[in-house]
Amino acid sequence: MTCLRPAAKIGSKFQNPVETRIGGLRMMFKILPLYLANREERFPKRQPGPFHTDLGIYQRPPSSGLRITWMGHSSMLIEIDGVRVLVDPVWDQRASPVSWAGPKRFFPPPLSLDQLPPLDVVLISHDHYDHFGAQTIRHLSQLATRWICPLNVGSELRHFGVDSSRITELDWIESTTISDLSITALPARHFSGRSLGNRFETLWASYVLKGKRHKIYYGADSGLWSGFGEIGRQYGPFDLTMLEIGAYNELWKSIHMGPDGAAQAFAELGASGLLMPIHWGLFDLALHAWRQPIERLTENANQSGYKLWCPEPGAPTEVVSGCEYRSDWWQT
C-alpha cells in the first residue's frame, strides 16, 4: 500500500502519515530540568556575520538555472528555471507569538524584505513560528504574488492580509503550476498549530519543485518515516535535497530527524545530487549547541561520501550539478 496519499483527519485534526505522538504539558515538565541544567552554547557567544546580500546578482539569471539564497533556518529564496520562490519566510526578530520573548535570531536578515527581487510565489510548509513569521507575512501580503500553502493555512494568511484570490491550498499529493514550475505537496511527519489549542487543525507538508531542467525536494520539518523511499522512487531523482538537521532531541525524534536522520532520509530518497542542511543556524530551539547539527552532518558526509551544499547566509549561490559546496561560515 502506498505511503503517499491525501491527508486523513479525525474530526478537525489532521493525522500524520504514520502514527506519531506529540508531547504536551507532560513533555514540557520533562524538558524543563534539562534546559535548566544545560551548559551547551545554544546561542552564539559572538554574533555570526555580518551577512549581506549582493543585490546586483539578482539582475541576471543563474547560468546553471538554479540559485538559492539561504537566509538561515528554513527561509530561502529559490530561483529555479526562471521562477522565483520564497520559502517559509521569517524576517521577524523572534520565532515566537510575542515580540518580547521567545527564540531570538542569531543574526539580522542579510537583506530587508523591501530589497527582495520580484517574487513569483511564496511557499509555506506549515504555520509554526519559525516558518511563518507574522510580521513578515504582513509585510509581504501586499505583493502581487501567488501564495501556496497546505490545507487550512490559507485562513491564517488571510488573517495577516493576503487576499484569498492569491492563495492556493494543497492537500498531500496535490500539485499546482506557476509558469513552468510544478509544485507538489507531499506528506511529512510533523504537526501544526500556533498555540496548544489549535494543534493539527492546519496541515503541514514537504514539497517537490520541478522546473524545465531541475528538480528539488524541500523536506521542511519532519521526523523519519517510511515514505522517503517512495518519494524518491516516484518523484526523484533530485538535483538538490533540503532536509532539516537542527532543533532535534531524543524526546521529540518522531517529528525532527536531526543530522543522522537527515543522512538516513537522504539515502532513502536515493542519495542523488546534493544534500542541503536546513532548519539550523538561526534560532535556539533545542538543547544542543548551535553548531552541533552541522558539525555532526559534516562528519557523517566525510565518512559516507555524499555531497553537501552549505551556502553562507544571504549569499545567492548557484547549484551546479554534482559540485559540492561548503562555505564553513559557522566556523569563524
Q: Which amino acid is at 19?
A: E
Query: How many other CB atoms are there within 10 angstroms of residue 206's CB atom?
Result: 26
Phi and psi, residue 2, nearest 5°:
-70, 145
* Whether the model pTM is above 0.75: yes
Each residue of 80-95: pLDDT tens digit? 999 999 999 999 999 9
Amino acid identity, position 74: S
Summarize pLDDT for 94-134 with one digit per residue, the tens: 999 998 999 999 999 999 999 999 999 999 999 999 999 99
Please choose, from the candidates 129, 116, 38, the residue with its C-alpha nearest in 3D space to the C-alpha of residue 77.
116
Q: Cell 552532518 maps to which residue?
A: 297
Give the closest residue to 199 by CA, choosing from 41, 66, 23, 318. Answer: 23
Q: What is the Cα–Cα distance from 268 to 253, expressed in whole angstroms?
A: 17
User: In this structure, what are the phi and psi dihedrals at residue 34, rounded to the nearest 5 degrees?
Assistant: -65, -40
Closest CA to 150 of 129, 167, 138, 130: 167
**What gap in Å lies between CA 181 and CA 189, rounded to an integer?**
25
pLDDT surpassing 90 at residue 303:
yes
Please give the grid coordinates belonging to residue 13: 485534526
Domain at 65-327: CATH code: 3.60.15.10
- Judge residue 267's burial from the number of C-beta atoms within 10 Å of its C-beta, 0-12 exposed, 13-18 middle, 19 or more buried: middle
**Where along the chain do its domains lie?**
65-327
Asked whether 132 and 88 are in contact (CB, 8 A), the reply is yes
Per-residue pLDDT reduced to its tens digit, 146-188: 999 999 999 999 999 999 999 999 999 999 999 999 999 999 9
Query: What would the DSSP string read from start to end of 41-100?
Result: --S-SS--------GGGGGS--TTSEEEEEEETTEEEEEETTEEEEES---SSBSSSSSS
The pLDDT value recorded for residue 39 is 85
Three-class DSSP category at 154? helix
In this prediction, residue 196 carries a pLDDT of 76
% the chain with pLDDT above 70: 98
Cβ-proximal residues to 46 (8 Å cutoff; 6+ apart), any chain: none
User: Residue 121 has which C-alpha cell?
Assistant: 510565489
pLDDT in tens, 51-78: 999 999 999 999 999 999 999 999 999 9
**According to the model, what pLDDT value does residue 302 have?**
96
Q: Is the pLDDT of residue 24 over 70?
A: no
Residue 50: cis peptide before it, omega within 30 degrees of 0 = yes
**What's the chain's Rg over C-alpha atoms?**
18
